[in-house]
Amino acid sequence: MPASHRTRHALRYLPVLPAVVLLLVFLAGPVLWAFHASLTNAGLTGRHARNPDWVGLENYQRLFQDPVFPLSLALTLLFVAGSAILGQNVLGLALAVLMRRARPVVSATVGTAVVAAWVLPEIVAAFAAYAFFSRDGTLNQLLGSVGVAGTDWLYAVPMAAVVLANVWRGTAFSMLVYRSALGGVPGELTEAAQMDGAGAWQRLALITLPVIRGSIATNLMLVTLQTLAVFTLIWVMTGGGPATGSTTLPVLAYQEAFKFGDIGYGTAVASVLILIGAVFGAVYLRLLREQRP
Amino acid sequence: MTTPHKRVRSTWADVVLLLVGACFLLPLLWLFLASVDPAAGHAVKVPGRPGLDNFAAVLTPELLFRPLWNSLLLSVGTGVVTLTAAVLAAYPLSRYRSRFNTPFMYGILFGTCLPITAIMVPVYGLFVQLRLLDSLPATVLFLAATSLPMAIWMTKNFMDSVPLALEEAAWVDGASRLAGLRSIVLPLMGPGLGVVFIFVFIQAWGNFFVPFVLLLSEGSQPAAVSIFSFFGQHGAVAYGQLAAFSILYSVPVLALYAVVSRGSGNALALSGAVRG
Amino acid sequence: MVAAAAMVLAACTPADPAGGDRTIKVAYQKTDSFTALDTMFQDAKKEFEAANEGVKVDLQPIQANDDDYGTKLALALRSPSTAPDVFYEDTFKVRSDVDAGYLLNLDSRLSGWGDWDKFDAGAKEAGKADDGGTYAVPLGTDTRAIWYNKKVLGAAGIGLPWRPSSWQDILDTARKIKASQPDVVPFNMYAGKGTGEGSVMQGFYELLYGTGAGLYDPDSKKWVVGSAGFKDSLTFLHTLYAENLAVPPAEALDPNIWKKVFGEWFPKAKLGATVEGSYAPSFWQKGGNYAWPEYGQDMAVAPFPTQDGTAPGAVSMSGGWTLAVGAETKQPDLAFNFLTTALNARNSLAFTVNSSQIAVRKDVAADPGYQSGNPFVKDVSDLVAVTRYRPATSDYPRISAAVQEATEAVITGSRTPEEAAADYDAAVAGIVGGDKTIRK
């Protein structure tokens, strides 16, 4: 390639520069800093606040010996699997399928209700969910009105409460994705299958889902990663408790770094979280690549 | 659509959908009832003496208008910066073939993977070092960076769907690349850009954690943070006011969403956005 | 007063050599129910700017609860460019922040400040670091006691004034209240992580320090593990919660429970007694968040007893806050002079009364305005004689979290007191290392 050509080629990509600079400074930089800080004993206060020592993998060793860590990891995976992969994804698909069969006015109304929870500011959604699940909240009142004794949801089953709250809050995204994906499925395909006598479930499993598998993979990736980072909802509803009953990794990282001022240890937790995000991302990217022509 | 066979199914789907929709509305019920109940707790009840006292109590410059104004600055700023950077970046990615494209797009996808909560500690450190703490513009740039990966991805997909042929016709007429982008591509992408903007705007408007960590002084905090202080501090058990505040804080994004989704047929637009 | 003014003038006349920037940045906490400090700084700002021409005081209130305020302050202190010149500092953070190099040594300046002699000697200790130097000036302190509702105790036939002499007395009284008024919470003691530091300051420590045990052994500089007192204290909490003499555990873990205590249960006579801070009247007095005009008649204070009444017969815990000067300040003299203006007799008095603090200046303590600030000033001030302080080491916040976890495990019934105490011992060894613990 002649030099002038190469220059022109490079110049064409000049407009990418602002985005690249923003991403490098505000995302890549902090990620590298996080990995670096996780290898030190940096603190918010105390002797190591301004002059942290290099401690190598000590924080990670401590992390892997900490009984809270496996628990927190399991809770995080449970939260992601329950509220994103199963909850939002499946409910979103179901809603999208139902909406194609329901009356337009019904599907528009219900669509608005579902989307409202998603559009709400996260802190408002968290307050609403807290009030819903609290001891004298809406859920227990409803149960009481049909004669069922409720329980203290945020205390007795904190993970179930935050998982349900996140399903409530996030399903709209999957629903919108699947509505548009289903809109792109050629009508002839399903009609032909119907002529051949395929039932509704068969048509869904054999025709529709394979056609939209690209959207499924993309949606799964996006909701998984959004859910992995959820902090505010859990923080407001349970604060990670009772005890460590709902301390997912973002909550643990916040507590260690900010509450206990142990920046080195907190960023070690955060680094693990970043790595988990990267693993999920890599898996879904592979899925996406495989299904491409 | 009008065969009897289909209509039976329709009713069945209607019923299920309405039930699910009702479940989604239930948590919001408390917000509405408590906001008009001067004596609200966190139990749902029809107000004994409904009134707008709660709204009156929070409609003050310090409590509501300044935080909302800050939220607006933050969200519009983030939307504009993100959209500009995303359109600029998406154009070469969509229009030129290069070895650079695929790795870059995968890098971008990876960027969407980044749990933002995980990098808040280092970001705070960065802001301290650069003396950017408590600066609204700097917070805007950070929020823009966090929403850029998704925005670039969506924008590129929208741009891919604008046929190159239209642009080429303009070049034949003597228009430059930039003019082609401005006069042909962007107008055709209008609804799509609207979706990206709304997506970014809603995220910035609702974001709590980022401004909570980066904006310290009272005067620059957005509504998300002031509402948290209101609830979390040594405050009164003012659930009614909290609910009223929440509603006033949520109405702008709900309205904006309604306007844009009406204008562009949101479901359709999102398909272009997240198609793999 | 005169001395302070003289200092101010003296500092201002020579004009600082660098000239240039003459702005003092002041960081402090402000919440919607804690505005007394904001008022104090606003007054001090006016006074100081009038006395020092060309100097600007830049007030930067941080709107946050105690935990978040501590975090935000520490994060700001970490960088010299954002560190404030004067700031509001929790006493138990003083030592670790001195270790971090955040605070300026004030010894030479304090010796030239006439008012310094008027500060209570015990309170001065709070501003000292391991090297013996003073780095912070106390603003006020507090004590903790039993606050009880006379109506509830009266209805249960308890003789008033009530003065329990042992833990058993508390249980007996609580059981009587339970029997006579089933819908009343007889005796609440905070526990668990929900109320954070408050759950140990107004709860577990009153128990632990009344057993003869403690958290930390200052002589050997080691943390105490395996003490009988620790187990006994957990057992007491267990009894209280298991017999439903306190609130249901789920409610105890709600971070907002204290709002119900102050705002709902006491005024409505739904709670017999609780352990709370001397600042309680600041919520009930006129202009407070839960204004309750009758609180002076309905409520009363009793010292928290030791386990079995052994001397000194009562336990209290003290915290309190200070003002400090940033180590990196470019205007150390101006900053210190502003601090002395903020803490002069007049400003201290107003602050102490507004926030129901216990005075640390003798002249303020002797002021009639202070003594009549609320009906309980004398009761809670007397407890200064028996009060205890938390170990001010940088490990403390984590140890405190471990204590909170132990109490939470016991009140929820997930662990027995013995198991929870063993868990605590293991946690402490994990935090500070086994060689920094001592069995007592």
Q: Is C398 within 8 Å of A47 when comparing Cβ atoms?
A: no
Per-residue pLDDT tens for C342-387?
A: 999 999 999 999 888 999 999 999 999 999 888 999 999 999 889 8
If you average pLDDT over residues B5-34, what whole number do you get?
A: 81
Q: Which residues pair with C318 in a beta bridge?
A: C389
Say if CB B200 and CB B86 are below 8 A apart. no
**Ranges of CATH 1.10.3720.10 domains, chain B:** 53-275
**C99 and C172 inside one domain:** no
**C378 and C403 inside one domain:** no
Closest chain A C-alpha to C278 CA, distance in angstroms:
26
pLDDT, mean over chain C: 88
Say if CB C356 and CB C378 are below 8 A apart. no
Band of the pLDDT at B61, cuts 50, 70, 90?
confident
Residue B25 burial (CB count, 10 A): 16
Q: Is residue C99 part of a domain?
A: yes
Per-residue pLDDT tens for B238-256?
A: 778 888 888 999 988 888 8
**C212 and C347 inside one domain:** no
Q: Is residue C84 part of a domain?
A: yes
Specify the pLDDT at position A239: 82
B6/B242: higher pLDDT: B242
Specify the pLDDT at position C9: 41
Per-residue pLDDT tens for B67-95?
A: 999 999 999 999 999 999 999 999 888 88
- For the cut 70, the answer to whether the pLDDT of residue A106 exceeds it is yes
Q: Is residue C6 part of a domain?
A: no
- For the cut 90, the answer to whether the pLDDT of residue C80 exceeds it is no
How much of chain C exceeds pLDDT 90, in percent?
60
- For the cut 80, the answer to whether the pLDDT of residue A127 exceeds it is yes
C157: containing domain = 144-318+392-439
In angstroms, the Cα distances linking A15 to A210, B85, B93, B131 are 37, 8, 10, 28
What values do phi and psi take at C185, rounded to 5? Answer: -80, 115
Specify the pLDDT at position C320: 86
If you average pLDDT over residues B110-123, what whole number do you get?
A: 80
Specify the pLDDT at position C14: 41
Per-residue pLDDT tens for A208-253?
A: 888 888 888 888 888 888 899 899 899 888 888 777 889 999 999 9
Band of the pLDDT at C237, cuts 50, 70, 90?
very high
Per-residue pLDDT tens for B172-188?
A: 777 777 787 877 788 88
What values do phi and psi take at C121, rounded to 5? Answer: -60, -40
- For the cut 60, the answer to whether the pLDDT of residue B276 exceeds it is no
- For the cut 60, the answer to whether the pLDDT of residue B273 exceeds it is no
Say if CB B215 and CB B136 are below 8 A apart. yes
Residues 76-105 of C with CB under 8 A from A: 77-78, 93, 96-97, 99-102
Start-to-end CA span in chain B (Å): 31
What values do phi and psi take at B255, rounded to 5? Answer: -65, -45
**C296 and C189 inside one domain:** yes
- For the cut 90, the answer to whether the pLDDT of residue A194 exceeds it is no
Residues 222-281 of A with CB under 8 A from B: 222, 225, 228-232, 236, 250, 253-254, 257-258, 263, 266-267, 270-271, 273-274, 277-278, 280-281
Band of the pLDDT at C206, cuts 50, 70, 90?
very high
Q: Is C82 within 8 Å of B217 when comparing Cβ atoms?
A: no
Q: Is residue C52 part of a domain?
A: yes
**C188 and C118 inside one domain:** no
Q: Is residue C1 part of a domain?
A: no
Residue C127 burial (CB count, 10 A): 24
**C148 and C207 inside one domain:** yes
| Answer CATH for A67-291 from 3.40.50.150, 3.90.1170.50, 2.60.40.10, 1.10.3720.10 | 1.10.3720.10
DSSP code string of C354-370: HTTPBP-BHHHHT-HHH
Q: Chain A interface, mutation test: which of C82, C130, C253, C259, most A Cβ atoms within 10 Å?
A: C253
Give me the number of domains chain C comprises: 2
Residue B203 burial (CB count, 10 A): 22
- For the cut 50, the answer to whether the pLDDT of residue A196 exceeds it is yes
Band of the pLDDT at C193, cuts 50, 70, 90?
confident
**C405 and C421 inside one domain:** yes
Specify the pLDDT at position B266: 46
Band of the pLDDT at B271, cuts 50, 70, 90?
very low
Residues 96-135 of B with CB under 8 A from A: 96, 98, 100, 104, 106, 109-123, 125-126
Residues 228-267 of B with CB under 8 A from A: 228, 231, 239, 242, 246, 249-250, 253-254, 257, 261, 266-267
Say if CB A17 and CB B92 are below 8 A apart. no
Q: For the domain bounded by B53-275, which CATH number is listed?
A: 1.10.3720.10
pTM, to two decimals: 0.84
The minimal CB distance from A239 to the residues C102, C255, C394 is found for: C255
Per-residue pLDDT tens for C401-418?
A: 899 989 999 998 888 999
Specify the pLDDT at position B231: 67
- For the cut 90, the answer to whether the pLDDT of residue B230 exceeds it is no
Closest chain B C-alpha to A17 CA, distance in angstroms:
7
Q: Using CA atoms, how far apart are residues C164 and C311, in angstroms rounded to an integer? A: 14
Of B207, B3, B222, nearest to B120 by C-alpha is: B207
If you average pLDDT over residues C29-36, what whole number do you get?
A: 78
Q: Does C86 touch chain B (CB under 8 A)?
A: no
Q: Is residue C129 part of a domain?
A: yes
Specify the pLDDT at position A102: 86
What values do phi and psi take at B143, rounded to 5? Answer: -60, -40
Taken in order B4, B6, B11, B14, the sign of the CA dihedral is: negative
How much of chain A exceeds pLDDT 70, in percent?
98
Residue C239 burial (CB count, 10 A): 17
Non-local CB neighbours of A126 within 8 Å, separated by 6+ positions: A165, A232, A233, A235, A236, A237
- For the cut 70, the answer to whether the pLDDT of residue B204 exceeds it is yes
C268: domain CATH number is 3.40.190.10
HEC string of chain A equals CCHHHHHHHHHHCHHHHHHHHHHHHHHHHHHHHHHHHCCECCCCCCCCCCCCCECCCHHHHHHHHCCHHHHHHHHHHHHHHHHHHHHHHHHHHHHHHHHHHCCHHHHHHHHHHHHHHHHCCHHHHHHHHHHHHCCCCHHHHHHHHCCCCCCCHHHHCHHHHHHHHHHHHHHHHHHHHHHHHHHCCCHHHHHHHHHCCCCHHHHHHHHHHHHCHHHHHHHHHHHHHHHHCCCHHHHHHCCCCCCCCCCCHHHHHHHHHHHCCCHHHHHHHHHHHHHHHHHHHHHHHHHHHHHCC
Kindly list the residues from chain C whose CB atom is less than 8 angstroms away from the CB atom of residue A242: 192-193, 250, 253, 408, 412
